[in-house]
Each structure stands twice: as structure tokens, then as C-alpha cells.
Structure 1
Amino acid sequence: MCLRSDIRQILLEAQRRWLRPAEICEILQNYKKFRIAPEPASMPRSGSLFLFDRKVLRYFRKDGHNWRKKKDGKTVKEAHERLKAGSIDVLHCYYAHGEDNENFQRRCYWLLEE
């Protein structure tokens, strides 16, 4: 389903560019090789990558940054997408834009159930 590659190189690339769906799959499928963050990072820098168990850490998106809100002024405005690796839907993605900087984004991914 997802390509096998050098995970260390993927992590280095993640600091400079958005990862491709196949690269994200590689990380998520091998999550046991990584440290699972016990709580959200406070004001993470651009290029940061964190793994969370979203069933354990319910508020993993509360990172201290000011994200663009919906018209109600309370809820973060997030877009939702399904991403493919090859021709198969494999990932779900939520992304949000910064309120103060349009180019600052947060993306949350998880594998779709097989």
C-alpha cells in the first residue's frame, strides 16, 4: 500500500517541506519506532513533527497557536481531505491556517481503517 523508504531521511525532509502521502504512511505504519508525545507541544516551530495517539490524547490540537476560526469565532476552521498513495485512499488529513500568518499551517494525519 505505502512505499518503504529510509525513515530518517523522511524526518529530515519534513523539516523543509510537506511530506507526501506515501511518506506519511511509512511513519504511521511504523509508529512503534517513534516516541509518542504524551501531551501537545506548546507553540511548536515550523517544520515540527509529532506523533500522538488521538484516542488517548483527546486535545492533541491545542498547541497554543492562534488558528483561523469559523464564523462563530470559537471553533478552529479546519479543512478535511482524504489522501491517496498510488490509487488507494489511505490517509485522512485535517489542516488549519494560522490567524496571524496565512502561510503557517497545521496538518494532522491518520491512517484510514482498512
Structure 2
Amino acid sequence: FIHCDPERASRETPFGGTIAHGFLSLSLLSAMTFETMPPLENSKMGVNHGFDSLRFLAPVKTGARIRTRFVLADVKVRPSGWVQTAHDVTIEIEGSKKPALTARWLTLTLIERQPETA
């Protein structure tokens, strides 16, 4: 009910109304990454590799505006042609001192091997 019943959420929660599900906020990272980060050169495809850490720190109230900050934390090039990147991610809530979430997000990108020139 904390996500879909405004009257009950106002009465029975400390949030003052409905809030977004934490996993909804988390799921927005995929779309936000395509809007903000350029792809690796010669990338064929990328896949989610998981999270080293993930914390939900503050609720996102219904109607709140959010933005995401991605900071490249680590890059590992594998002999197989895959590149693993780790980004420190923060979803900020407009007007809130605490972020909605922080995470260390791991992704894998397959790089197309280029023909060697003689």
C-alpha cells in the first residue's frame, strides 16, 4: 500500500504519502546510463554484471524529481575481449540532502576485435 494507496500511506507511514518502490528507482539506471554515458569504442554489446554494493537511503516520494550521477571507479580489460567497468552510482532526489540510493554497479562490454594492420 505504500506505493499505490495515497490515503492509507498518508495515515499509516512516516512518508506523508506514497513512495516509489526502491527497485523501480534501481531499474531506471539502465535508461539513465544510455542518456548520459557514451559507449565504449567498438563495443558490440553490454550486459549487467550486478552490484558490489547497493543501499536504499531515502524514499522517493511520488512526483519527486531525481537525477543520477555516474562516476567511473574501475576498468578491467579481460583477455576474452570483455571489458568490466565499475561505476559508483548515486540517485539524488531534488530538494533532499540524502540520496535515494548509492551503488557500485558492474557491467560487461564485449569489444569487437579489430583486424590488425600490417
Same topology, TM > 0.5: no
Using CA pairs under 8 Å that are at least 6 residues apart, name the structure with larger relative contact order, 1 or 2. 2
What TM-score do you get using the length of structure 1 for normalisation?
Answer: 0.28
What TM-score do you get using the length of structure 2 for normalisation?
Answer: 0.27
State the structure with more CA Rg.
2
Structure in which a larger fraction of residues adopt strand: 2
